[in-house]
Structure 1
Amino acid sequence: MADRLGTLSRSRVKALMEAGHVLRDGAVLRDPADPVRAGLCYEIRVPPAMPATPQAQAIPFTVLYEDSDLIVLDKPAGLVVHPAPGNEDGTLVNALLAHCGDSLTGIGGERRPGIVHRLDKDTSGVMVVAKTEAAHAALSEAFAARDIDRIYLALAWGMMAPSSGSFEGAIGRDKRDRKRMAMVTHGGKQALTHYHTRQSFHGAVSLVECRLATGRTHQIRVHFAAHGHPLLGDPVYLRRIPAAARGLPEPAR
């Protein structure tokens, strides 16, 4: 049924069915496992999208591209993507609700932007956000299939050796500090980060280009810190200024 419609995801069709919004020959059909039968009439009644729980807030951000299906934006550093405990408002979602308004047609029955990937609060960069259910499903599938390249630039302490390479290893919650992630030997999820050194400064700092083959929480920060190259200014994984800082001129230090 979802394949035939094309505009609703399987999970959305299932939710509508379980909520009593799917009819078969006029009778409510609630069992998603019930096979479609030839010769019968099926009707899906999609209720109007409910207002999003987060409130719209006029928070500035730069729009790089926008049409009726999606928006591409430059997320500034310091902006949290999604409301969560400790950041209930003032997020990118609040900003998108204000910017997009009625052009958000509803995702999962709620009038909200479709976040398909995230950036850490203190990371700036390009994000693509869905405005329709169909765009949300297509983008989610593209990210899951790794059809979209994600490239980051970072300043890391020390000289990378080799100058280009890969960091691979499972990432999970740090047992000593649940707010941190860490490379783990048991459990966790496999993560792979490819890097290339673009430039080095005074033998103390490297500008690296990172390409993610996976998308784990804090992946770049964890991988580089675990290999002795924490990122500059990282408030979580940079425990102390490395000895390499002594090689920097005083103004840079």
Structure 2
Amino acid sequence: MQFTILFEDGEALVIDKPGGLPLDRPRAGGPCIEDHVEQLRLGFQRSPAPVHRLDRDTSGCLLLARNPKALKRFSAAFEEKQVEKRYLGVVAGVVEGDEGTIELALKKISSAADGWRMIPARAGKPAVTHWRKLAVHNGLTLVEFRPETGRTHQIRVHAASGLGLPLLGDPIYGAGTVPGAKRTMLHAAGLVLHREGKDPIRAAAPLPADFAALGFSDVAPAGHEDGSAEA
């Protein structure tokens, strides 16, 4: 497998993660990002380590640190909400309104029958997502999400419970696999992380082919790329 490099310097690497590829080895086995860390060394002594997490189905910008000190700094930036994140999602229906903010605290629950999931709950952890409607096509809406917080499944739950429309293909909070959506249709389109004494890390991932197949090929991610290459 080859990865498109969206950003690269001496301490950071941003790749365009394919949808459907998990970061860690699934219990049932199969490919994952761990299989490719040696390939992503690109001549450096150490293998890069993921700084944050993307769900298995989510495609787009994944930041990796090239040394332990960078990993610690970048992780702290995520925890302290100093990273600008932009996601694009296709929701199953037509969203009312043009933009807004969803504030729904989230709590994890689990059961033997259904496994675990996140739900809106007053006793949960605060979660804030800003959204904007970008386009409507064939009864589907392309939405831009800008999360302030980074809770597990935040955008997926906020789409389903905040907008009232789940992400297309979401097996937990929506109807699951449907024609044209073999995965949860969520894409990490952009990432900006400011660094003291250095230029910011800026990356933008192009819209995936399965988004284009749904009729949203004319909508490009905001921001700019610092060049791209294949790894």
Task: Specify the TM-score bucket, using the shorter chain as the normaliser.
Answer: 0.5 to 0.7
In the aligned structure 2, how far is the partner of 1:241 from the partner of 1:117? 26
- The residue type equivalent to 1:136 in the other structure is L
Match of 2:2, SS?
coil
More strand by share: 2
Matched, 1:95 2:46: no
After TM superposition, give the deviation of residue 240 of structure 1 in Å: 7.2
Q: Contact 2:168–2:176 at 8 Å: present in 1 too?
A: no
Matched, 1:81 2:23: yes
Match of 2:160, SS?
helix
Matched, 1:181 2:181: no
Unmatched tracts of structure 2, length 5 or more: 179-213, 215-231
The structure showing larger relative contact order (alpha-carbon pairs under 8 Å, at least 6 residues apart) is 2
Q: Contact 1:104–1:132 at 8 Å: present in 2 too?
A: no
After TM superposition, give the deviation of residue 136 of structure 1 in Å: 0.8
Matched, 1:193 2:124: no
Q: Contact 2:109–2:118 at 8 Å: present in 1 too?
A: yes
Unmatched tracts of structure 1, length 5 or more: 1-58, 106-111, 243-251
Query: Of 143, 152, 168, which aligns to 1:232?
Result: 168
- The residue type equivalent to 1:167 in the other structure is I
After TM superposition, give the deviation of residue 101 of structure 1 in Å: 7.0
Change (3 A) 1:171 1:67: same
Of 60-69 and 121-130, the range deviating more from structure 2: 60-69
Rg bigger for which structure? 1
Change (3 A) 1:64 1:240: closer
Q: RMSD between aligned alpha carbons?
A: 2.4
After TM superposition, give the deviation of residue 124 of structure 1 in Å: 0.6
After TM superposition, give the deviation of residue 64 of structure 1 in Å: 2.1
After TM superposition, give the deviation of residue 210 of structure 1 in Å: 0.3
- TM-score, reference length from structure 1: 0.62
Instruction: State the match for 1:169 in structure 2.
Output: 104
In the aligned structure 2, how far is the partner of 1:104 from the partner of 1:241? 41
Q: Percent identity?
A: 36
Matched, 1:127 2:74: no
In the aligned structure 1, how far is the partner of 2:32 from the partner of 2:145? 26
In the aligned structure 2, how far is the partner of 1:145 from the partner of 1:241? 35
Q: Contact 1:60–1:95 at 8 Å: present in 2 too?
A: no
Query: Of 153, 156, 180, which aligns to 1:221?
Result: 156
Instruction: State the match for 1:153 in structure 2.
Output: 88
After TM superposition, give the deviation of residue 175 of structure 1 in Å: 4.3
After TM superposition, give the deviation of residue 160 of structure 1 in Å: 2.1
After TM superposition, give the deviation of residue 84 of structure 1 in Å: 5.1
Q: Contact 2:17–2:61 at 8 Å: present in 1 too?
A: yes
Number of residue-to-residue matches in the alignment:
176
Match of 1:134, SS?
helix
Q: Contact 1:157–1:230 at 8 Å: present in 2 too?
A: yes
Q: Contact 2:130–2:146 at 8 Å: present in 1 too?
A: yes
The C-alpha deviation readout for 1:171-229, integer Å capped at 9, x for no partner, is: 1223453332221233x311111100011124x22110000100111111111112320
- The residue type equivalent to 1:179 in the other structure is W
Q: Contact 1:104–1:113 at 8 Å: present in 2 too?
A: no
Change (3 A) 1:75 1:241: closer
